[in-house]
Amino acid sequence: MAAGQSDIFHHIRDSHVFELPWGTEIPVPFGISKFMLLQVVAGLLTVLIFQGLAKRIASGEPARGRWWNFWELLAVFVRDEVVRPSVGTGHHDHDDEGHHSGDGSHDAVAVQVGHPADKYLPFVWTVFFFILFNNLLGAIPWLGTATGHLCVTGALALTTFAYVVKCGTEESGVVGFWKSIAPSMDIPGIIGPPVKLMIWVIEFAGLLIKHLVLAIRLFANIMAGHTVLAVILGFIAQAAAADQSWIFYMVAPASVFGQVAIGLLELFVAFLQAYVFSMLASLFIGMAVHPH
């Protein structure tokens, strides 16, 4: 690839500058990297949007306006279709209609307010929207996608692992949680302890691998999409460098159409990968708090 054409890969690598058209570069201040700054922007967007939404629904009235309705719709979707079904109710499961007293009156005390899984919502909501905003920032030309870097997705997976351990420990206790990693087995004789230890080590490795897959899945899907965009865009530069001008006029329209099509697909992937990460995180939380 000719000198300078490698800049088309700026979306999938971190740097200390924002690369603009015509070779213009804007340095990132304070010695931080581009992806670090974009993560701060994603975090601020999450805080500002949902602080605004919270103020509008604090009185119990529904949010008004398409902008606020859109974010409320996403938040309710994550709650009702991701967290609650994935985490479940465990031993809290009961008749949501409550119980009736002997005289036929409704026992209001027995009616559950909310859902047992709702206490895990703040974490899953934060993860979902943080990933989503990072993915969407990558759709803006000359910015970048922090979730296309393995260090970023690895930090997200490590945070999820720590939260899963925290939730499991709070539910079952320190000893109870770590014992629940391996299924209970009735193995008589002297071979019992070493077999149980071996199974526990395997299950613990599986727990680590599940969270490692969280990092690799998100990183690979985001990086692959932007790599395809970069390669298609590179076709135009290669055709422009060719001696035959007719090649450029054939390749350029096809490449632009491919950019638009893949770009629209990347918007879908931005939402999909945030959903997948949140769904798997919710499943892991459910497995930790309801081991049986």
CA distance 263 to 269: 10
Paired strand residues for 100: 106
CA distance 205 to 72: 38
Q: pLDDT value at position 90?
A: 63
Contact 20, 26 (CB under 8 A): yes
DSSP result, the chain: --TTGGGGGGGGS--SEEE-GGG-EEEPGGG--HHHHHHHHHHHHHHHHHHHHHHHHTTSPPP-SHHHHHHHHHHHHIIIIIIHHHH--GGG---TT-EE-TTS-EEGGGSPPS-GGGGGHHHHHHHHHHHHHHHHHTTSTTS--GGGSHHHHHHHHHHHHHHHHHHHHHHH-HHHHHHHTSPP----STTHHHHHHHHHHHHHHHHHHHHHHHHHHHHHHHHHHHHHHHHHHHHHHHHHHSS-HHHHHHHHHHHHHHHHHHHHHHHHHHHHHHHHHHHHHHHHHHHHH---
Mean pLDDT, residues 223-252: 72
Asked if pLDDT for residue 229 goes beyond 70, the answer is yes
Q: pLDDT value at position 121?
A: 93
Contact 273, 80 (CB under 8 A): no
Share the mean pLDDT of the chain.
82
Contact 255, 235 (CB under 8 A): yes
What are the φ and ψ backbone dihedral angles of 20, each rounded to 5 degrees? -100, 170
Asked if pLDDT for residue 104 goes beyond 50, the answer is no
* CB crowding 3-19: b at 16 or more within 10 Å, else e: eeeeebbbbbebeeebb
Per the model's pLDDT, the better-predicted residue between 258 and 149 turns out to be 149
**pLDDT tens digits, one per residue of 187-206:** 777 887 888 889 899 999 99
Q: pLDDT value at position 244?
A: 63
What's the token pair of residue 49? Answer: 């949007």
CA distance 200 to 184: 10
Mean pLDDT, residues 22-38: 84
Judged by average pLDDT, the poorest of 139-143, 144-148, 283-287 is 139-143
User: pTM of the entire structure?
Assistant: 0.81
Asked if pLDDT for residue 15 goes beyond 60, the answer is yes
Residue type, 190: I
Asked if pLDDT for residue 100 goes beyond 50, the answer is no
Q: Are strands 99-100 and 25-27 parallel, antiparallel or unpaired?
A: unpaired
Contact 63, 69 (CB under 8 A): yes
Count CB-CB contacts under 10 A for residue 70: 13
Q: How far is the CA of 15 from the CAs of 131, 143, 224, in angstroms? A: 20, 11, 19
Contact 86, 277 (CB under 8 A): no
Q: pLDDT value at position 232?
A: 74
